[in-house]
Amino acid sequence: MKALGIQKPWAPPRSYGLLAHLDREGEATDSLHSRAGGRFHGINGACDTQYGVVITARGAGQLLLYTGGLR
């Protein structure tokens, strides 16, 4: 990261995980979060199945299955 023309030895994490369930009016009713720099950042897709919500996390390079109450 550069600040004031000086290369800094650190960079703040810019990728986080966020998955939100929207109702028919477009209002968020539930959400799942992974902090910036967390284990499951870079969420880029999700699909509700009979087994739970399948989530792809590109930053983590993983396919996740959430069986909690996001519905």
Q: Is there a contact between 53 and 70 (Cβ–Cβ < 8 Å)?
A: yes
Other C-beta atoms within 10 Å of 42: how many? 16
- What pLDDT does 34 receive? 79
Spatial separation of the C-alpha atoms in residues 54 and 51, rounded to whole Å: 8
Interval 22-53: pLDDT, tens: 899 999 998 888 777 777 778 888 998 999 89
- What pLDDT does 24 receive? 93
Cα dihedral value 5, 9, 12, 17, nearest 10: 130
- What pLDDT does 62 receive? 84
The pTM (predicted TM-score) of the whole model is 0.65
Checking if the pLDDT of 13 tops 70, the result is no
Higher pLDDT, 38 or 64: 64
Checking if the pLDDT of 55 tops 60, the result is yes
